[in-house]
């Protein structure tokens, strides 16, 4: 796949092409949130670095080096990703896959490329890599993937070229979905808006029935939250969360999108800003339909704040039962209408 066939990321691709046509640096860090496609783009750059006929559009895709790369058997390419059940990439794997390997000259061409999921390197692992980055053999190139520069030690960050990836536009995400066999339509349009500019997230959501089912359950919960009794909240509505405990962050994302959409209706009723455009009748009902716009906006803002507090509680390992019950009571209080 050539650079021009990769959707979006115009600035990043232009920078990589400039490097290929000139003298590439020995280390690059591809930065962006999970689902932005940084590993995908880093692999394409790795293939171009190893290609014997690379040019302004990246790797040629035809030479023996490209064919070996496409089949996952290129002898001069190493990739270090986190393994199942690992919290971090083990330092022994860093030493074996990178630090000891760099002294072996390329077997196939005149370059070796290492791709590392640096988000999963702890301080010890990064320090093990540091000496190699400080004095790399002239034939070695290192590609790191990270969520943000803050994930790297300053000593590592100072030795890499940072390539920041940008979130995709809704149209670009629709093109990504179409390229992967997901036809344009109401569902594809929803995924393009809900994914927050992350093509990988849109693809994952569009490819699983589980998300569709979870969204339907969350919509049913949201529809009635403002009319629930306290007893109903703390029994059947709590059971909804408990039975989907592992998916709680995604439930929060869905609820957040619905509350934001209702806030848009309360303030402007601009349909173009709505994420859940297939749920217009639901968004127009409830608090928005039965309360003055300014009051509705204030209460929706408070409801969204309660959701953010619950999200923070999840990351801090707070009591699950406590944070969910507190969220339910707060949502009922703010979304209740006469």
pLDDT tens for residues 284-303?
988 888 899 999 999 999 99
Q: Determine the angle formed by the axes of helices 293-315 and 248-267, rounding to 10 degrees.
A: 160
Q: Residue 272 pLDDT more than 90?
A: no
* Strand positions, DSSP E, 33-189: 77-80, 112-117, 140-146, 161-164
Strands 77-80 and 27-31 turn out to be unpaired
Q: Write the pLDDT tens digit of every residue in 63-97.
A: 999 999 999 999 999 999 999 888 899 999 999 99
Q: Left, alpha or beta for 101 (phi > 0: left; psi -120 to 50: alpha)?
A: alpha
Q: Report the distance separating Cα 126 and Cα 99, nearest Å.
A: 11
The pair of three-digit structure tokens given for residue 253, joined into one six-digit string:
């994302």
Q: Which of 17-21, 115-119, 169-173, 267-271 has the lowest mean pLDDT?
A: 267-271
Helix (H, G, I), strand (E, B) or coil at 103: helix
Would you give the distance in Å from CA 331 to the centre of its chain? 28
Residue 17, pLDDT above cutoff 90: yes
Average of per-residue pLDDT values in the chain: 93
pLDDT exceeds 90 at position 271: no
pLDDT of residue 127: 94
SS3 assignment, position 78: strand
Band of pLDDT at residue 138, cut at 50, 70 and 90 = very high
Taking alpha carbons only, the member of 216, 338, 326 closest to residue 286 is: 338
Q: What's the token pair of residue 89?
A: 């990439």
Burial of 104 (0-12, 13-18, 19+ CB in 10 A): exposed
Pick the CATH number of 3-164 from 3.40.640.10, 3.40.1030.10, 3.40.50.300, 3.40.50.10490: 3.40.50.300
pLDDT computed for residue 305 by the predictor: 97
Q: Which pLDDT score is estimated for 86?
A: 87
Q: Summarize pLDDT for 89-99 with one digit per residue, the tens.
A: 999 999 999 99
Whether 338 has a pLDDT exceeding 90, the answer reads: no
Quick one: 26 exposed, middle or buried, by C-beta within 10 A (0-12, 13-18, 19+)? Answer: middle
Give the model confidence (pLDDT) of 203-251 as tens digits. 999 988 999 999 999 999 999 998 899 999 999 999 999 999 999 999 9
Gap between the Cα atoms of 95 and 102, Å rounded: 10
Largest CA-CA distance found in the chain, in angstroms, rounded = 75
Q: Are 117 and 39 in contact (CB under 8 A)?
A: yes
pLDDT of 185 strictly over 90: no
Q: Are 199 and 65 in contact (CB under 8 A)?
A: no
Over residues 319-327, the mean pLDDT reads 96
């Amino acid at each position: 796949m050539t650079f021009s066939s990769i959707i979006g990321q115009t600035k990043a691709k232009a920078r990589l092409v400039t490097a290929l046509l000139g003298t590439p640096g020995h280390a690059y860090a591809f930065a962006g949130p999970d689902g932005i496609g940084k590993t995908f783009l880093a692999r394409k750059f790795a293939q171009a670095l190893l290609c014997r006929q690379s040019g302004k559009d990246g790797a040629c895709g035809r030479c023996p080096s490209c064919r070996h790369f496409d089949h996952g058997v290129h002898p001069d390419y190493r990739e270090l990703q986190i393994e199942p059940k690992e919290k971090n990439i083990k330092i022994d794997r860093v030493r074996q896959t990178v630090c000891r390997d760099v002294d072996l000259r390329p077997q196939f061409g005149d370059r070796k490329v290492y791709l590392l999921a640096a988000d999963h390197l702890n301080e010890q692992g990064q320090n093990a890599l540091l000496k190699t980055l400080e004095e790399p053999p002239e034939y070695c190139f290192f590609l790191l993937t990270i969520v943000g520069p803050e994930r790297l030690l300053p000593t590592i960050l100072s030795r890499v070229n940072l390539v920041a990836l940008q979130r995709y536009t809704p149209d670009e995400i629709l093109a990504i979905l179409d390229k992967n066999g997901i036809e344009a339509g109401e569902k594809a349009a929803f995924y393009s808006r809900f994914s927050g500019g992350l093509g990988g997230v849109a693809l994952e959501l569009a490819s699983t029935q589980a998300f569709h089912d979870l969204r339907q359950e969350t919509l049913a919960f949201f529809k009635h939250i403002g009319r629930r009794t306290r007893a109903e909240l703390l029994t059947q509505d709590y059971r909804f969360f408990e039975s989907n405990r592992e998916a709680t962050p995604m439930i929060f994302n869905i609820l957040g999108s619905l509350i934001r959409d209702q806030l848009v209706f309360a303030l402007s009723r601009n349909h173009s800003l709505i994420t859940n455009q297939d749920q217009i009748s639901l968004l127009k009902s409830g608090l928005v339909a039965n309360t003055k716009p300014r009051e509705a906006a204030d209460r929706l803002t408070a409801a969204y704040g309660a959701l953010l507090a619950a999200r923070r509680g999840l990351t801090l390992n707070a009591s699950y039962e406590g944070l969910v019950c507190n969220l339910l009571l707060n949502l009922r209080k703010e979304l209740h209408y006469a």
